[in-house]
């Protein structure tokens, strides 16, 4: 009793127990449900077996028909190969033809045609072929190629008698083609050549010629033609028959075919689709009743099981929805834990711990993002600073120029540029060395940066010993004064330069102002400032020149 109580408690209070009970029931019912796919598989297998059996019937019927053909063909071949057949005097040969004709009553007529196709002898005096030339017929042409041949259905004589002709070549005395020996079998005589066995109770086998005419059948009663049936049309196209079709009698059927007799005849085996499907339909009906009962019972059981799970799952779904919106402070309250399975209680605790961890991680992430933003800003500033002088580099200058041009164009205000070049700097490097040259560049850049900063401007190293300052609002007197201050500041550095006419390091300055539009290229302002710088150098250096394009 105690063990039973423990088992019941486990089944009713733990998620594992509840699921175990549910799964046990589902396995019981699922085992029955699995029968349905099995039935479908069995039906498909039955259809495959039907096609295989239909093909097996075709194979056996083909062997029987082939034996029948071989027997008649052997008789014709035997006579055509007799020495008497090659003799000029064929009286003995004709006698043997008469003997075969009497013994083989299936032959309506046996005739011999010479190498011109003219029929010289018939065993049937009443035969409709006595005065016919067979030179243009397929069987005579095959004989000229030294082939035996069995025709399909042919119409002979004035009465168009339907018949099949078996033929073989005959040699003359010197071994050359001497004509053919042929036997005629009327179509009515071969209506029973197909054996009476077929696949299934409704199965039937047809022997059909290329025109669709039924020559023989395993059934006593059969249609005269299968020309309009789907299987015959597929046979003409050499396509596989993998679906049901309407038979010549209007019955939905499964069927297979095979060509025989050098593709002159087609052998068709078929069985009604209803016979193949009936066992499946009966089983499906029976199983449907069982499944309906099972479904009703499963419904009530599953409904009760789901009811016990939806409340705690709903609390979890609500919590995850709140957290997904960024509220990591949410917690599932203790009163929700009441009367839930032990596993859900553990899951709720794990959820609350996860929410607490997410809240802490969000704090750390935001802090890390702020640190990253600061680091990124520092890296950006470093990428825009010249490594030697510490002022803006060429990239900084190009970006700043683009921004200032657009701002000036939109505000309809002028923009000015000051280009500064250290005089005779190459000679300075050659005389004092590159280390001294780098130090001089740093000192000049520092002086320039101080002047620019005092005017709320930014200085940049344009390239080599050239530096630049952008001035957002341009007044020629103000620019000129700014240029003088830069020249004076460099002089006050008192950097000795023996190769300079003044004996000290000096700079030349070119200044330009333009009124830009949104389509004004940046190079226009640079070119004009560069022209002014060239004039300063041409006029003796150590001076500032303004080139105004306004």
- Whether 347 and 328 have beta carbons less than 8 Å apart is answered as no
**Total Cβ atoms within 10 A of residue 413:** 13
Three-class HEC string of 447-503: HHHHHHHHCCCCEEEEECCEEEEEECCCCHHHHHHHHHHHHHHHHCCCCECCCCCCC
CA dist list (Å): 354 to 23, 314, 332, 351, 365: 30, 18, 11, 5, 16
CA dist list (Å): 175 to 140, 170, 304: 17, 9, 98
**Total Cβ atoms within 10 A of residue 530:** 19
Question: Angle, nearest 10°, between helix axes 434-454 and 476-491?
Answer: 140
Q: Catalytic site residues?
A: 465
Q: Rounded to an integer, what distance in angstroms lies between the CA atom of residue 53 and that of residue 275?
A: 14
- Whether 479 and 418 have beta carbons less than 8 Å apart is answered as yes
Question: Angle, nearest 10°, between helix axes 273-324 and 15-33?
Answer: 160
Q: Rounded to an integer, what distance in angstroms lies between the CA atom of residue 43 and that of residue 197?
A: 24
CA dist list (Å): 203 to 130, 181, 217, 275: 42, 39, 11, 9
Cα–Cα nearest to 54, from 351, 209, 274, 254 = 254
- At residue 227, φ and ψ (nearest 5 deg) are -60, -35
Residue 365 per-residue DSSP state: H
CA angle 273, 279, 282 (to 5 degrees): 115
**Total Cβ atoms within 10 A of residue 542:** 20
Cα–Cα nearest to 319, from 344, 340, 348 = 348
């Amino acid at each position: 009793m105690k063990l039973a109580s423990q088992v019941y408690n486990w089944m009713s209070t733990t998620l594992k127990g509840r699921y175990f009970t549910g799964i046990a029931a589902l396995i019981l019912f699922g085992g029955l449900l699995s029968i349905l796919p099995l039935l479908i598989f069995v039906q498909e297998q039955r259809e495959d077996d039907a096609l295989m059996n239909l093909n097996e019937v075709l194979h056996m019927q083909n062997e029987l028909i082939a034996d029948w053909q071989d027997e008649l063909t052997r008789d014709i071949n035997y006579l055509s190969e007799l020495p008497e057949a090659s003799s000029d005097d064929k009286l003995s040969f004709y006698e043997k033809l008469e003997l075969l004709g009497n013994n083989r009553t299936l032959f309506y007529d046996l005739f011999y045609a010479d190498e011109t196709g003219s029929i010289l002898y018939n065993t049937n005096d009443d035969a409709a072929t006595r005065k016919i030339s067979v030179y243009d017929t397929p069987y005579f042409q095959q004989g000229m190629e030294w082939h035996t041949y069995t025709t399909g259905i042919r119409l002979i004589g004035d009465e168009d008698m339907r018949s099949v002709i078996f033929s073989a070549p005959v040699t003359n005395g010197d071994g050359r083609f001497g004509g053919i020996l042929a036997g005629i079998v009327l179509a009515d005589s071969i209506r029973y050549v197909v054996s009476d066995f077929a696949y299934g109770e409704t199965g039937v086998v047809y022997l059909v010629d290329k025109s669709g005419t039924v020559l023989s059948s395993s059934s006593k009663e059969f249609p005269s033609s299968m020309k309009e049936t789907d299987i015959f049309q597929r046979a003409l196209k050499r396509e596989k028959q993998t679906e049901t079709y309407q038979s010549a009698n209007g019955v939905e059927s499964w069927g297979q075919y095979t060509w025989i007799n050098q593709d002159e005849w087609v052998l068709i085996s078929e069985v009604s689709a209803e016979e193949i499907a009936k066992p499946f339909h009966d089983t499906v009906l029976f199983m449907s009743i069982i499944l309906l009962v099972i479904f009703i019972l499963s419904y009530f059981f599953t409904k009760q099981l789901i009811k016990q799970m939806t409340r705690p799952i709903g609390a979890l779904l609500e919590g995850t929805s709140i957290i997904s919106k960024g509220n990591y402070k949410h917690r599932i309250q203790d009163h929700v834990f009441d009367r839930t399975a032990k596993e859900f209680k553990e899951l709720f605790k794990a959820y609350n711990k996860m929410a607490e961890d997410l809240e802490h991680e969000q704090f750390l992430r935001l802090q890390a993002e702020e640190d990253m933003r600061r680091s990124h800003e520092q890296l950006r500033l470093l990428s825009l600073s010249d490594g030697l002088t510490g002022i803006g580099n060429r990239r900084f200058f190009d970006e700043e120029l683009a921004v200032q041009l657009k701002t000036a164009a939109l505000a309809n205000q002028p923009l000015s540029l000051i280009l500064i070049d250290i005089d005779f700097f190459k000679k300075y490097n050659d005389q004092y060395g590159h280390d001294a040259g780098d130090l001089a560049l740093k000192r000049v850049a520092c002086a320039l940066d101080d002047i620019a900063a005092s005017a709320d401007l930014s200085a940049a190293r344009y390239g080599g010993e050239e530096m630049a300052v952008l001035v957002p609002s341009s007044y020629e007197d103000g620019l000129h004064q700014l240029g003088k201050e830069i020249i004076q500041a460099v002089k006050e550095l008192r950097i000795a330069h023996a190769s300079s006419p003044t004996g000290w390091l000096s700079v030349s300055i070119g200044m330009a102002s333009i009124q830009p539009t949104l389509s004004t290229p940046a190079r226009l302002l640079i070119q004009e400032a560069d022209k002014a710088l060239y004039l300063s150098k041409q006029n003796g250096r150590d001076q500032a020149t303004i080139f105004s394009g306004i």
